[in-house]
Amino acid sequence: MTIGENIRRLRELHELTQRELGAIAGVSDKAVSTWENGSKMPRMTAIKRMATYFGIPAGDLLEEEKPAATATSTPFAGALSTLCLSWGRTPEQLAGDLNMSLHRFQQLSAGVAPTEEEAALITSFFRSPHTVLKDGTSPQIPDVSNVRPIHLFPSARRIPVLGRVPAGVPIEAVTDVIEEIDLSGHSVQDGYDYFGLLVTGDSMFPEYLDGDIVILRMQQTAQTGDDVVAYIGNSDATLKRLTVTENGIQLRPLNPAYETRSFSNEEIRTLPVTIAGIVIEQRRTRRHG
């Protein structure tokens, strides 16, 4: 059974829509559809989020049954992760270095135990004793101080900065694009989609000023204390600080001149109130007053 078939089976077993599973994995429903039809592979970050939600090992999403040679081996996965980080190589790069399929490398990273040949190949590549990865003993990281560091993720990717996010329009279809900016660091390849939004007005003063740019990770779930961009009914998306209560949520402006709006669980469903994304970065590139 393929990864896509496993994802579809679990989604239907838990009576989730592709949109709901996308929110769990931190991607769009379109991404889930491409996984299920086999045209694209989910990133390991998304696989681990889904596995956590379903309460299963990540390796169970990668294959239906594990023969004895591929029993779960968490110590191996942990040691492999440590060595990957120390060498500054992405999963895609390492799979190529080892002449191994990315799918198989993701299985090993998720906790599937290697074959004897795979363990020998990987430990040889990392110049580590065979027992480090095969038996999960504490790895002695090789001295690579004389090797020029290689960034774990590509340096940047371009994302749009939007002037407004109208209700009912998928973010990727919004035409009010002011500019494009670089998204750098870990966020470049963490499996999420991102967009920028121009802050207008002073309801979030003093933390956010008119003309600031906030970078948002597209997801429909958030926690108390997150700054979110949310839709209220048919209104354009608004930037507010979220508080989750037993009976609903509050969307709070930081400027005391504005009122906090509270919504019951029933109102969240009927209006509806939905989240477009959470703020992960703020950029002040404009001068004020």
- So which residues are the catalytic ones? 203, 240
CA distances from residue 38 to 4, 21, 49, 100, 249 in whole angstroms, order as listed: 6, 16, 19, 19, 37
CB 36 within 8 Å of CB 7: yes
Say how far apart CA 126 and CA 134 lie, in whole Å.
13
CA distances from residue 80 to 36, 128, 228 in whole angstroms, order as listed: 28, 11, 35
